[in-house]
Amino acid sequence: MYSFFIRRPITTWMFILAFIVTGIYALKNIPIDRNPDVDFPIVSISTTYQGASPYVVDTNITRKIEDELATISGIESIVSQSYTGQSRITVIFDLDKDIDIGAQEVRDAVNRIIKKLPEGTDPPVVRKVDTSLAPIMAILLHGNVDYSELSYYADKIVKREIERVQGVGEVDLGGFRDRVMWVRLNPEKLAGHNLAPLDVVNAIQSNHLETPAGRIDSKNREYILRIYSKAKSADEINNIIIKNNVRIKDIGNAEFSFDEERSAVRFKAFDAKEAEPAVAIIVYKQSKSNTVEVSNKVKQKMEELNKQLPPGMRLDINYDSSTFIERSVHDALEEIVIGGLLTALTVFLFLGSFRMTFIPAMAIPVSILGAITFLYLFGYSLNTITLLAMAVAVGLVIDDAIVVMESIYRRNEEGLKGIEAAEKGTKTVIFALLASTASLIVIFVPVLFIKSVIGKFFIGFAFTLIVAIAISYIVSLSFTPMASARIIKVGEKNIFQKLYDKFENGFDKALKWSLNHKLIVLAVAFITVIAGFKLAGKTGKEFFPIVDEGRFLIRFETPTGSSFEFTNKKAKEMEKIISSNPYILRYGVALGEGIAGRPEVNGGIFFITLKDRKTRPHQKVIMDMLRKDLRKVPDVRAIIDIPSAVGPRAGRSADIMYIIKGSDINELAKVSSHIESELRSNPSFVDVDTDIRINKPEIRITIDKDKALMLGVSTKDIADTINIIFGKYQVGTFEEGSESYDFYVKANTDFLKEYNNLDRIYVRAANSNLVPLSNLIKFEPAPGFNVINRYNRQYSVTIYANMASGKPVSEGIIQVENIIKKYLPAGYTYEIGGQTKEFKRTFAYLGAALIVAIVAVYMILAALFESLIHPFTVLLMLPFAIVGTFALILITGTTLNVTSYFGIILLIGLVTRDSVLFIERIIQLKKDGKQTLDAILQARKERLRPILMTTLTIIASLIPVALGITEGSEMRQPLAIAVIGGLLSALPLSLFVIPIVYMLFDKVELFLKSALRR
């Protein structure tokens, strides 16, 4: 194949340009995102049963749905929460389950159970969870203006305009209260007019309605009869007659105003002195659409809208994911370019010619652009993971070209020229190229089969590297020999080349000494490996490093049962602390019911945006500052959190998460209290919390059923009467223009302040007389459940914690498990969950992938060398990378995490490749008749320079990544550190140990062959 390209330069150029042209096209059109677009194997089910207690929801809805879900195969876990009036169930499938099939099976199960749910239950909502569910923007419409104006523009103007933007999938409003029609009742006036609350509801529903009334069939035309009897104004509603000429205005008042204030949003812009009332506009993109492109279109629409908004009102962005994505992508590409330049400089120092440097350097843009083409064709995006792969690929893709060109250069030094030198030089190394490229590609194949969420994320990483390496192999056998045949000329050596000649002479002496002192060299190597394992034991482990995106969340909660007014007051106290922090650029706060799915009013979320990274410390430092300061606010539990990949709706993304299961909720509460107390006193943990809340104040009402039956009063009548007075009893809708609004009945606000007012409510008996509820019911305050949690159909409590700065997750897991075992009662169990579960599972899979990669490399080398022994010579060099990897991890203060683990897997291929280049040439020379020692020395002479060049180019290409000074570099840096450290220790050791081990194994092989002949 290579001869064809060597002799057809124009064909070769066209072939290479095809990669470049298609790559540029793909680069302009490929989606750009923060994370890969991954369908998590998760389905959520949300069901509303208005007014029901958590216990009733748990018994009548959650358990029934769970029992039906249990018939579905492939479920890993079922997690549920039963709140007041709401059931939430999360179904987590095995990773090999097709999520579309799983979601459909869940829908089928829910449809089967709907008829068995209590009357008045809203239909359950089933949705898949994927990364596109995370909001891409949080826009705040804010200003010190009347709320009616602010809410109107948010709902009727801004929301609808943004929904029309191409690529926008959904727009939610936070802190928004719609207009509603209220009828506020005065229970005392009701009783004075001998009326019950149900009389009012019946009167409204009988007089405020639109309904079809049949059809007239004339000879030529057909007419639909429809009665229009809905009130057009509050005055008309006030004049509805209830009974005996008593109108609604006589016992209460109808008013068209806003819904109850159960949530609020405020926003402090960078140029504002204090936070202003706001409505949050949360923007979600359509699945598979380009985040940056959608965000830019929304920002253009914002500019148009800001020109149309009235004075005192403005749209500002609190969070824009595209900002970090653009900066991160820009900086990652910058690292790739700088790495490429450093790689080219390294090659130039060895070759001493810009023209010759161009030959291998050409492999970088061709391979990278070619990889982008395939990413685009296979539906991938440019994201954190694929860009990490490209940063690594810069140093890899040039290696094959260097080996080919260096071999051709050496043929030129021996006197051959042009096409002849190119053909012979390429032929000499083609087998070594195949072995090293195959060993590099095969190590990433196991990554494609890692069964964890992270495995799904890193499929793009493996795919990118496999494609880039494969293209670089093609380039090295096409463009490289063709260009080398026409460009390479042996000229005068530069200073670096002269220094390298001296280094070669010194290395020859050192190599000969090592071959004469094998035991000393092997002893040093053995001690180094032992030291490496010792360092590995001291290295902290974590799932992923915290990436400084310049934003984070503060989840806060006031005591269970706190009112909205109390929670709002505490939020303002927190705002003073947050506003005083010099590193915070702006913030938004959303509190109350419905915020990020909250069913209660006693909590909320701060969305913090930090100043430019150049003017502040790492966000971890600022997070710790706020943790310390917010502890000063009494009656507030504040948790600093990193946004989840699927947005704040997904809940906490803590380092530590353990689930304790048992049969008694109260016992679980005691156990979790002990564990929480001990974790809070441990300085290794921060943001300690649990999900159990059992002290919610409630009024327990019991009905004297005998009395009620005797008076002809049903339980439903009593429940409806209480709900009309104290709940939000919907009686229909109210239309104004083209808009429709909810219509509610409720007592006036003064009556709602005391639960003893239950004694002042009346219900109508069968004989039409009014009966005081106090004759039929008893009530008392008591603690109740805020939420009932279940895990795999058992009562549960979840323990959350983050690790303090500098503390590894692996250490925290051991401590937490010891504490749990200390307090766990008989019959109760625990298991890991969330990020902790993924941490353990992913590291187990990565360990397995590491072993499989080593086995796969052995099989490839055994097949290529046609030897079962010599592959061991190569693989024995792998442990030499351990000491360098973990030493550099400890020196730089990083950890062993998912990305550094991928660096270790990559080292298998890199160390193998260098060893293959050396051993393959020794085997060739021996086949040509040379003795083992002579073959080793000759192979050293031919392969030392390409081995050094390929290793140093990888190190050079990863230096910008390892420095970790760019946006999003925390994710890329650990891999670079692991690879650089491993190569720095493996290269010098392997250069001396490979010849010794080869000689020993060669003797073993000769002995075995002679033994078999006998």
Kindly state whether residues 868 and 740 are assigned to the same domain: no
The pLDDT of residue 1010: 67
Name the pTM for this structure.
0.78
Residue 284 forms part of a structural domain: no
Distance CA 848, CA 100 (A): 28
184: part of which helix (H) or strand (E)?
A: strand 179-185
Share of residues in the chain with pLDDT > 70 (%): 97
Distance of CA 146 to the CA centre of its chain: 38
Instruction: Map 51-63 to HEC letters.
Output: CCCHHHHHHHHHH
pLDDT higher than threshold 60 for residue 787:
yes
User: Where is pLDDT greater, at 53 or 377?
Assistant: 377
Which of 776, 800, 816 is the C-terminal boundary of a domain? Answer: 776
**Is-contact 365 359, C-beta < 8 A?**
no
* Same structural domain, 860 and 973: yes
pLDDT for 650: 47
Evaluate whether residue 285 is within a structural domain: no
* pLDDT score of 10: 92
Name the token pair of 330: 């820009």
| DSSP state, residue 122 | P
Last residue of a domain, one of 724, 745, 776: 776
The DSSP line for 796-844 is EEEEEEEEPTT--HHHHHHHHHHHHHHHPPTT-EEEE-HHHHHHHHHHH
Segment 255-269, tens digit of pLDDT: 999 998 888 899 988
Which residues does residue 764 pair with via DSSP β-bridges, in sequence order?
770
Residue where the block lists tokens 């490929």: 30
CA nearest to 393, candidates 470, 298, 312: 470
The one-letter amino acid at 398: I
The count of C-alpha atoms lying within 13 angstroms of the C-alpha of 396, restricted to the half-sphere facing its C-beta, is 33
Looking at 732, 753, 776, the residue that finishes a domain is 776
pLDDT in tens, 646-677: 444 445 678 888 999 998 888 898 899 999 99
Closest CA to 203 of 719, 731, 722: 731
**Within a domain: 396:** yes
Q: Please state, in angstroms and rounded to a whole number, the distance separating the CA atoms of residues 955 and 77.
A: 44
Q: How far apart are CA 477 and CA 426, in angstroms?
A: 7
Instruction: Identify whether residues 883 and 1004 lie together within a single domain.
Output: yes
Residue 144 CA neighbour count, 13 Å, CB half: 7
- Is 80 exposed, middle or buried, given 0-12, 13-18 or 19+ CB atoms closer than 10 A? buried
pLDDT at residue number 647: 45
Q: Same domain, yes or no, for 402 and 476? A: yes
Would you call 620 exposed, middle or buried from its count of C-beta atoms within 10 A (0-12, 13-18, 19+)?
Answer: middle
Query: What's the CA gap between 758 and 703, in Å, rounded?
Result: 13
What is the chain's mean pLDDT, rounded? 86
Amino acid at 176: F
CATH number of residue 954's parent domain: 1.20.1640.10
Domain check: are 387 and 520 in the same one? yes
Confidence of residue 506 (pLDDT cuts 50, 70, 90): confident
Mean pLDDT of 87-113: 88
List C-alpha distances in Å: 685 to 627, 628, 654, 813.
12, 13, 11, 11
Q: Is the confidence at residue 300, as pLDDT, over 90?
A: yes
Please enumerate in sequence order all residues whose Cβ is within 8 A of that of 353, keeping only pairs 6 or more positions apart, or say none. 489, 491
DSSP output for 398-424: THHHHHHHHHHHHHHHTT--HHHHHHH
Inside any domain, residue 733: yes
Identity of the residue numbered 549: E
> Residue 131 pLDDT more than 70?
no
C-alpha to C-alpha distance for 884 and 578, rounded to whole angstroms? 43
What pLDDT was estimated at residue 509? 87
First to last CA, the chain: 43
Side-chain-side CA neighbours of residue 940 (13 Å): 25
Q: List CB contacts of 779: < 8 A, sequence separation 6 or more.
A: 699, 700, 701, 702, 755, 758
In angstroms, the Cα distances linking 781 to 50, 698, 750 are 21, 6, 20
How many residues make up the chain in this entry? 1014
Q: What is the pLDDT of residue 491?
A: 66
Cα separation of 598 and 615, whole Å?
35
The answer as to whether 962 is a domain residue is yes
The values of phi and psi at residue 598, to 5°, are -65, 130
State the pLDDT at residue 130: 62
Classified as helix, coil or strand, 603 is strand
Return the closest-CA partner of residue 977 out of 880, 876, 899: 899
What's residue 1012's pLDDT? 62
Q: What's the rounded Cα separation, in Å, for the pair 648 and 172?
A: 13
- For residue 521 the two structure tokens come to 């060299």
Task: Answer whether residue 748 is part of any domain.
Answer: yes
CA 717, CA 764: separation in Å to the nearest integer? 9
- What is the rounded average pLDDT of the residues 598-623? 88
Phi and psi, residue 434, nearest 5°:
-60, -45
The answer to whether 967 touches 854, Cβ cutoff 8 Å, is no
pLDDT, mean of residues 899-920: 84
The mean pLDDT value for 393-408 works out to: 85
Task: State yes or no: pLDDT of 132 exceeds 60.
Answer: no
CA angle at 254 for the pair 250 and 260, rounded to the nearest 5°: 130
| High-pLDDT (> 90) share of the chain, % | 29
- Same domain (yes/no): 849, 763: no
> Where is average pLDDT lowest: 108-112, 183-187, 338-342, 543-547?
543-547
Q: Which residue type is seen at 984?
A: L
562/10 Cα distance (integer angstroms): 78
C-alpha–C-alpha distance, residues 12 and 6, integer Å: 8
Both 373 and 498 in one domain: the answer is yes
Whether residues 844 and 935 share a domain: the answer is: yes
Within 10 Å of residue 937's Cβ, how many Cβ atoms? 18
Query: At which residue do the structure tokens 């929460």 appear?
Result: 81
Predicted pLDDT at 646: 45
What is the pLDDT confidence band of residue 381, given thresholds at 50, 70 and 90? confident
What pLDDT sits at residue 432? 79
Residue 783 near residue 695 (C-beta atoms within 8 A)? yes
Q: What is the CA radius of gyration of the chain?
A: 36
CA pair distance 815, 806, nearest whole angstrom: 15
Higher pLDDT, 453 or 467: 467
pLDDT of residue 661: 92
pLDDT of residue 652: 62
DSSP lists the bridge partners of residue 696 as 784
Q: Is residue 469 part of a domain?
A: yes
Lowest mean pLDDT among 419-428, 490-499, 615-624, 942-951: 490-499
Distance CA 94, CA 88 (A): 20
Q: Is 564 helix (H, G, I), strand (E, B) or coil?
A: helix
Selection from 39-53, 185-199, 441-455, 952-966 with the highest mean pLDDT:
185-199
CATH code of 189's domain: 3.30.2090.10
Q: How far, in Å, CA of 648 to CA of 552, rounded?
A: 11
Is residue 550 within 8 A of residue 609, CB to CB? The reply is: yes
Report pLDDT for 142: 92
Least confident of 190-199, 237-246, 385-394: 385-394
Are the beta carbons of 305 and 158 closer than 8 angstroms?
yes
Q: Which segments of 668-752 are extended strands (E)? A: 685-690, 696-703, 729-736, 739-747
Q: Is the pLDDT of residue 22 over 90?
A: yes
- Report the C-alpha gap between 337 and 333 in whole angstroms: 6
How far, CA to CA in Å, does 169 sit from each of 222, 289, 291, 318? 42, 9, 11, 19
**One domain for residues 771 and 844:** no
For residue 199, being part of any structural domain is answered with yes
Nearest to 396 by CA among 376, 369, 374, 367: 367
504 and 363 housed in the same domain = yes
Q: State the total domains in the chain.
A: 2
pLDDT for residue 241 is more than 90: yes
Residues 278-299: what's their mean pLDDT? 87
pLDDT 10s digits, 690-702: 888 777 788 888 8
Q: Tell me the three state secondary structure of residue 210.
A: strand
Structural domain harbouring 1003: 2-30+352-538+840-1013
Q: Write the secondary structure of 341-398 as one string of H (helix), E (strand) and C (coil).
A: HHHHHHHHHHHCCHHHHHHHHCHHHHHHHHHHHHHHHCCCCECHHHHHHHHHHHHHHC
Which one-letter amino acid corresponds to residue 433?
L
Record the tokens describing residue 877, joined without a space.
């060099």
CA proximity to 429, closest of 443, 410, 415, 413: 410
Confidence category of residue 492, pLDDT binned at 50, 70, 90: low
Q: How many Cβ atoms from other residues are within 10 Å of residue 539's Cβ?
A: 17
Structure tokens at 496: 């670096």
Judgement on whether residues 383 and 486 belong to the same structural domain of the protein: yes
Is the separation of the CB atoms in 786 and 728 below 8 Å? no
Q: Fill in the DSSP letter of residue 336.
A: H
Do strands 637-641 and 551-557 pair parallel, antiparallel, or not at all (unpaired)? antiparallel
Same-domain check for residues 373 and 466: yes
